[in-house]
Amino acid sequence: MTEIRLKKGESIERALRRLKKKLDREGTLREVRNHRHYEKPSERRRRKEKVARFNAMLSARYADL
Protein backbone atom coordinates (compact mmCIF):
# COMPACT_ATOMS: atom_id res chain seq x y z
CA MET A 1 0.00 0.00 0.00
CA THR A 2 1.34 3.38 -0.97
CA GLU A 3 1.63 5.94 1.75
CA ILE A 4 3.24 9.29 2.30
CA ARG A 5 3.92 11.14 5.52
CA LEU A 6 2.99 14.74 6.01
CA LYS A 7 6.00 16.96 6.45
CA LYS A 8 5.94 19.59 9.14
CA GLY A 9 3.97 22.60 7.92
CA GLU A 10 2.99 20.91 4.63
CA SER A 11 -0.46 21.61 3.28
CA ILE A 12 -2.89 18.83 2.45
CA GLU A 13 -3.01 19.88 -1.21
CA ARG A 14 0.75 19.55 -1.53
CA ALA A 15 0.71 16.13 0.16
CA LEU A 16 -2.04 14.96 -2.20
CA ARG A 17 0.03 16.13 -5.15
CA ARG A 18 2.99 14.11 -3.86
CA LEU A 19 0.74 11.06 -3.39
CA LYS A 20 -0.63 11.33 -6.93
CA LYS A 21 2.89 11.57 -8.37
CA LYS A 22 3.99 8.55 -6.36
CA LEU A 23 0.98 6.51 -7.51
CA ASP A 24 1.68 7.52 -11.10
CA ARG A 25 5.33 6.49 -10.86
CA GLU A 26 4.44 3.13 -9.35
CA GLY A 27 1.71 2.49 -11.93
CA THR A 28 -0.87 1.62 -9.28
CA LEU A 29 -3.78 3.47 -10.89
CA ARG A 30 -2.90 2.04 -14.29
CA GLU A 31 -3.08 -1.48 -12.85
CA VAL A 32 -6.46 -0.79 -11.25
CA ARG A 33 -7.85 0.57 -14.50
CA ASN A 34 -6.54 -2.42 -16.43
CA HIS A 35 -8.29 -4.82 -14.06
CA ARG A 36 -11.58 -2.94 -14.09
CA HIS A 37 -12.94 -5.21 -16.85
CA TYR A 38 -11.93 -8.68 -17.94
CA GLU A 39 -9.70 -8.66 -20.98
CA LYS A 40 -9.61 -11.74 -23.16
CA PRO A 41 -6.13 -13.13 -23.87
CA SER A 42 -6.54 -12.35 -27.58
CA GLU A 43 -7.42 -8.73 -26.76
CA ARG A 44 -4.43 -8.46 -24.43
CA ARG A 45 -2.12 -9.85 -27.13
CA ARG A 46 -3.58 -7.46 -29.73
CA ARG A 47 -3.12 -4.48 -27.39
CA LYS A 48 0.48 -5.43 -26.60
CA GLU A 49 1.27 -5.85 -30.31
CA LYS A 50 -0.21 -2.41 -31.00
CA VAL A 51 1.97 -0.84 -28.30
CA ALA A 52 5.03 -2.67 -29.66
CA ARG A 53 4.33 -1.41 -33.20
CA PHE A 54 3.97 2.15 -31.89
CA ASN A 55 7.23 1.95 -29.92
CA ALA A 56 9.03 0.49 -32.93
CA MET A 57 7.72 3.31 -35.10
CA LEU A 58 8.94 5.90 -32.60
CA SER A 59 12.37 4.33 -32.27
CA ALA A 60 12.70 4.13 -36.07
CA ARG A 61 11.62 7.74 -36.44
CA TYR A 62 14.11 9.06 -33.89
CA ALA A 63 16.98 6.66 -34.65
CA ASP A 64 18.58 9.19 -37.02
CA LEU A 65 18.63 12.02 -34.48
pLDDT in tens, 46-62: 999 999 999 999 999 99
In a domain, 51, yes or no: yes
* Total count of domains within the chain: 1
In a domain, 2, yes or no: no
In a domain, 7, yes or no: no
In a domain, 43, yes or no: yes
In a domain, 31, yes or no: yes
Q: Flag whether the pTM goes above 0.75.
A: no
Q: What is the pLDDT of residues 5-26, one digit of tens each?
A: 999 999 999 999 999 999 999 9
Question: Helix, strand, coil: what percent of the chain each, to 5?
Answer: 65, 0, 35
State the residue range of the domain holding 47: 12-61
CB–CB of 20/44 below 8 Å? no
